[in-house]
């Protein structure tokens, strides 16, 4: 039985289904602990396992990657890089309709991100020139989940914004197939659609370490992006500072706000689409109507029985999903802003009237025709979105994630001479006398120069 629990008490909901745990507090399924015990020969936390894996890659390079591929994925191979011939052949190895879908998705993702305003500026009217120079980062590593659940859509959603930004070197890492060492053709086809030529067969924390520090086969990159498992997220956390990251993605989540005008069948479908991702996924309905909550809960139970991932859905519903009853829509949006969901779906009458009430969300899905699954695949914006409440301060992956801004300061002599006086005053106020003297040493020199 798959039940969507209904919370009539908001205090209880905030203490349970709406309460988040930090990355290091997250519940670790028992099977992960057992796998780690077998892999390392002793009980070990995921964070410690990741630390050891990273250290081995830093010390041994490719040799560590081959070893972890064999130990974790039972994959034996001679080289880590996927041959170019395999990438070129992949589009012909998948169904034509899947290839067409990848191409359409890629086109819409590219068009969307090309519209993002990203530009530098120089103002020559400010007593000289001041401005900002926008430059793409030199290199990016894109992590793409593979194995038995390949995610070619994540490759498109991560690679294309980087290409639009002008990144010259993009490296894709993806786990080798368990027991085969081969990358699923659909992943390679997505790479081919994007024009990616460098795909490395390595996954997990070892892939993040390789991108952060470089090995014989994997170039060191400036930034790592792309969602993955608990282990890739912990690895990103541990290498951050030595390399840039897009964030620390946690389990996927969606919040659906529905009123009496909503179709409970569609609301249930949207919740189940998230719940099937993994057992830690969060699918939350917020509604001022108990009748709607009951109808959605009944539909969730009915639909789950026919779905291929019913067991995963059942655990997700039990662990971190539910329906929360609120007094009205203003309170619903108050809850939504507190929760700061990755996906916020508005299945309400006149949804556009409420968009302005949203302050915190990775993506807003406006009305029943703009459902979250379209955002996952083909709408246009990247589906790599902030999770775990980080939408309070973070954004979906976009072109700005792949550029850096350099300040430009080119003042004329008269402006510099005048501003040096202010700089010296502030420096002495901070007891930084060397700063003050560097400014004062220029006052007379620059004033004389400007008088010439």
Q: Which of the residues are catalytic?
A: 342-343
Q: What number of CA atoms fall less than 13 Å from residue 35's CA on the CB side? A: 11
Copy the structure tokens of residue 237. 């956390």
Given a contact cutoff of 8 angstroms between Cβ atoms, the answer to whether 6 and 322 are in contact is: yes
Residue 181 vs residues 64, 79, 152: alpha-carbon distances, Å: 16, 10, 17
* Stretch (H or E) spanning 440: helix 433-451
Q: What share of the chain is helix, strand, coil (3-state, %, to 5)?
A: 50, 15, 35
- Looking only at the bridges linking them, the beta strands covering 199-201 and 223-225 are unpaired
> CA dihedral defined by 205, 207, 209, 215, rounded to 10 degrees?
150
Helix 152-165 with 185-194: angle, nearest 10 deg: 20
What whole-number distance in Å separates Cα of residue 365 and Cα of residue 336?
13
For 382-414, give the DSSP string: -S----TTGGGT---S-GGGGEEEEEEEEE-HH
> CA dihedral defined by 106, 107, 110, 116, rounded to 10 degrees?
-130
| Burial class (CB within 10 angstroms; exposed 0-12, middle 13-18, buried 19+) of 367 | middle
Copy the structure tokens of residue 80. 């880590």
Copy the structure tokens of residue 37. 């015990």
The Cβ of residue 362 has, within 10 Å, a number of other Cβ atoms equal to 25
Q: Please, what is the end-to-end C-alpha distance for the chain in angstroms?
A: 87
The Cβ of residue 209 has, within 10 Å, a number of other Cβ atoms equal to 28
What whole-number distance in Å separates Cα of residue 174 and Cα of residue 201?
5
Alpha helix (H) ranges present in 264-346? 264-275, 290-304, 310-320, 329-339
Secondary structure letter of residue 90 according to DSSP: G
Give strand pairing partners of 369. none
- Closest to 171 in 3D by CA, of 137, 141, 131: 141
């Amino acid at each position: 039985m798959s039940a969507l629990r209904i919370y009539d008490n908001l205090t209880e909901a905030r203490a349970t289904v709406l309460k988040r745990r930090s990355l290091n507090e997250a519940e670790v399924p028992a099977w992960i602990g057992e796998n780690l015990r077998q892999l390392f020969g002793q009980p070990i936390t995921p964070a410690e396992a990741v630390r050891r894996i990273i250290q081995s890659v830093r010390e041994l390079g490719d040799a560590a990657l081959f070893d972890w591929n064999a130990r974790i994925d039972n994959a034996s191979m001679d080289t880590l890089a996927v041959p170019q011939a395999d990438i070129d052949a992949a589009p012909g190895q998948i169904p034509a309709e899947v290839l067409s879908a990848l191409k359409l998705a890629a086109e819409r993702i590219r068009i969307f991100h090309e519209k993002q305003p990203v530009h530098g500026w120089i103002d020559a009217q400010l007593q000289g020139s001041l401005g900002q120079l926008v430059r793409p980062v030199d290199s990016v590593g894109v992590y793409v989940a593979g194995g038995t659940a390949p995610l070619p859509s994540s490759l498109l959603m991560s690679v294309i914004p980087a290409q639009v930004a002008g990144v010259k070197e993009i490296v894709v890492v993806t786990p080798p197939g368990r027991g085969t060492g081969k990358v699923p053709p659909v992943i390679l086809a997505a790479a081919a659609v994007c024009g990616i030529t460098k795909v490395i067969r390595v996954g997990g924390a070892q892939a993040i370490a390789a991108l952060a520090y470089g090995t014989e086969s994997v170039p060191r990159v400036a930034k790592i992006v792309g969602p993955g498992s608990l282990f890739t997220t912990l690895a990103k956390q541990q290498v951050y500072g030595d390399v840039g990251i897009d964030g620390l993605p946690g389990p996927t989540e969606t919040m659906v706000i529905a009123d009496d005008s909503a179709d409970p069948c569609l609301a249930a479908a949207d919740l189940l689409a998230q719940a099937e991702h993994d057992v830690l996924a969060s699918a939350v309905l917020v509604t001022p109507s108990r009748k709607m909550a009951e109808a959605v809960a009944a539909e969730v139970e009915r639909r789950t029985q026919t779905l291929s991932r019913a067991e995963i859905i059942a655990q997700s519903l039990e662990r971190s999903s539910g329906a929360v009853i609120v007094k009205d829509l203003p309170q619903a949006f108050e809850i939504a802003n507190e929760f700061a969901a990755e996906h916020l779906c508005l299945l309400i009458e006149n949804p556009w009237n409420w968009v302005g009430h949203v302050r915190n969300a990775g993506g807003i899905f406006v009305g029943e025709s703009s459902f979250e699954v379209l955002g996952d695949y083909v709408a246009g914006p990247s589906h790599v979105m902030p999770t775990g409440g980080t939408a309070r301060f973070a954004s979906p992956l976009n072109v700005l994630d792949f550029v850096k801004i350099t300040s430009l300061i080119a003042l004329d002599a008269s402006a510099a001479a005048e501003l040096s006086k202010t700089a010296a005053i502030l420096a002495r106020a901070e007891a930084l006398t060397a700063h003050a003297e560097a400014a004062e040493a220029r006052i007379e020199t620059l004033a004389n120069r400007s008088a010439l």
